[in-house]
Amino acid sequence: MKDKLAEAKSFEFIDFGLPEDLGGDDVLSVKKDAFWSYCGPLLSKPDDLPSNLHDWAGTALSGPLLPLVLPLLAFVNDFVAANGLTHYWLTIRATKATAEFDRPRWHTDDLFFSRNSDSAAREGKTKKRKLDLDLDLQTDWKLCATLLGPATMFIPPEHQAAARATSASTKQALSTDHPCTSIRCVGCAATADAVRTSLADKFAPLNPVQAAPGECSVFRIGSERGAVHSEPSMSKGDRIFVNVVPGKEDELTALVAKWGMSFPRSWWIAPGVVRGRE
């Protein structure tokens, strides 16, 4: 099994061993938009799965989830462990057909566990040096896969560097000075929408690529080397998407602590349904 993302690449598609008879989109459907999340040690055995995953699946999906998710989890666990990590933030998101992403939202994912060195900053180190420190202290990659529906879209490898540069210059050109008055700032939202529209037009000729059924996407994050990607159009059917952010135990403990949660923790949310937790 391939267990490393090549240094020169921003993303790769790797087969995770989904049985052929489970790969069709007629296996199950989404009853309700909902997501389930887990932060903690690798879920190495079926018995390790939190019970509220089954509650979530029964609420959100029309059929059994485990035949699809267990082969992916086995691959993810091996891949993460081979990279010296033993914990992750795992999210499964079920989405009914929607036109929300008929216009792509091209972006790179942020570094999840930024840990700039205060001492380095006091010594007057450069911004690049602080970035290097960040990357020394955390993973700069993540994984995702689609169990139902279309896969995440990526700008082709040969255009990734140019796409990152275009994204940065477009954000700079369209940003406006304004006071952020709330967490959901109207000014920031307007800028994000303008950037989204502009990048959708600029990247339209580039013919994005997607993982095939049974393939997992492994890709870099961060503005410097991150893979430029977007949610796919979901107007033609439901989607079940799995997102995996590997991390160290202390990084993930700090993450859920920001939300007032203990560690390890699993939880789920569905509109109109009382949240599950464990």
Instruction: Report pLDDT digits (tens) over 218-264.
Output: 999 999 999 999 999 999 999 999 999 999 999 899 989 999 999 99
Low-confidence ranges of the chain (pLDDT < 70): 1, 21-27, 114-138, 181-183, 274-278
pLDDT (tens digit per residue) in 149-162: 999 999 999 999 99
Tell me the sheet residues that pair with 91. 37, 243
Closest CA to 242 of 5, 69, 41, 19: 69
Q: What is the pLDDT of residue 275?
A: 54
Closest CA to 100 of 245, 272, 233, 195: 233
CA dist., res. 278 & res. 273, Å (int):
16
C-alpha distance from residue 24 to each of 18, 21, 93, 216, 228 (Å): 11, 7, 18, 16, 27
Q: Are strands 229-230 and 239-247 parallel, antiparallel or unpaired?
A: unpaired
Q: What is the pLDDT of residue 43?
A: 97
